[in-house]
Amino acid sequence: MRLPIHLLALREGEMPWRKAVCGLIGVSLPMLVAYLMHQPYGILFGAIGGLYASFLDFGGTFRHRASTQAWGLALIFSAGIAGNLIGSGTPMLLLPLLAVLCLGVGWMDGTGAALETIARFAVLAFLIYAYLPAPPWSALWFALLGIAVGLGAVGVDSLIWPRALPRQHPGLVNSVTRVLRGRNAGWVHAVGFSATTCGALWLALDLHYTRPAWVTAVTLFVIRPDGPDSLRRLFQTAFGTLAGAAAAWLISHLMPYTWVMLVSVAVLAFLRPLAVAGNQWAASAVMTTMILLLFDVVLLPEGQGAGATILRVRLNDAMLGAMVALIGMALFNREARRHLLRQLRD
């Protein structure tokens, strides 16, 4: 068996510098406002809101870009509220509802990047807020500020460089049209995706993991109907998580000051679109570093870096999720199973 080191090579191609600039503006301004107002949770939610516009920017005219983000925000926000209500009220419904949601996500796979991304983030929001207390309302205002700033940056970009919307654009309208025409990944993939994600959550809860949503996030975002490409994403995501956790630990220990971490988060927000264009492992490393630094700012006092605990928690979550995703792909995806067996024989 050969180690797939070649999968870590960066792809060549045009880098999305304009999206990087929009990401930098969308994250930096809300964080700066929250920092000046001494609102730690505002920093976290402002950054997440600023990232939102960058995540769901698929080009095209501003009207199409804004409508995609508005519908996505409504779905993700509703899923987070539902998760919080069910988690605090009737937690026994979480697994059945997760199974239904993931069945829908898996069934819609292959219809378009916008719909697939929104659906996956909605499921992730459902799980995160099922196991976390509702954030303070002041933090939600900063999230809205981040979304507004990010959307404003996208709007300026569309005015300076207007782009027509192609017929096969990955936006929400074309994705929904493909669903209505019956173009989807099929029920075999949908059932396998749902079973694997629910299995990840059940195992995380049974092993008393403190952040079960982090475990299921791996299965949510790496499993697709494409078989060998899903295995590639799994390997790259696991490697990127290791690199990102190590980078976050180094930054928080060498320079454990809030302003340094915020500058680092802003730089990472700029690098994220470039990392996505380069390789999945680079994108995973950037996102892991960014999220862990934001949690450091919120949860730890000034001048204190994160210890080995949060590093171990993040790595354990990612490795458990990767193991469950690998088993799920081997069981439910014929092409992935054949590719995996072929690699093990070589």
- Kindly state the tokens that stand for 285: 């490393």
The residue whose two tokens read 């054949």 is 338
Q: Is the pLDDT of residue 290 over 80?
A: yes
Which band of pLDDT confidence, cut at 50, 70 and 90, is reported for residue 302? low
Do residues 16 and 277 make contact, with C-beta atoms less than 8 angstroms apart?
yes
Question: Which residue type sits at 84?
Answer: N
Over the stretch 86-139, which tens digit does the pLDDT of each residue have?
887 777 889 999 999 999 999 888 777 888 888 999 999 999 888 877 667 777
Helix (H, G, I), strand (E, B) or coil at 87: helix
pTM (2 d.p.) = 0.87
Read off the pLDDT of residues 17-41 as tens digits, 9 standing for 90 and up. 888 999 999 999 999 999 999 888 8
DSSP state of 93: G
Among left, alpha and beta (phi > 0; psi -120 to 50; other), residue 35 is alpha
Return the pLDDT at 312. Answer: 75
Structure tokens at 236: 């790259």
* Residue 308 pLDDT grade (very low, low, confident, very high; cuts 50, 70, 90): low
Where do the H-state alpha helices sit in the chain?
17-36, 40-55, 62-89, 94-108, 113-130, 137-160, 172-180, 187-206, 212-222, 228-254, 258-278, 280-299, 308-332, 334-345
- Residue 134: burial class (beta carbons within 10 Å; 0-12, 13-18, 19+): middle
Residue type, 202: W
Is the pLDDT confidence value at 333 over 70? yes
The per-residue pLDDT for 249 is: 84
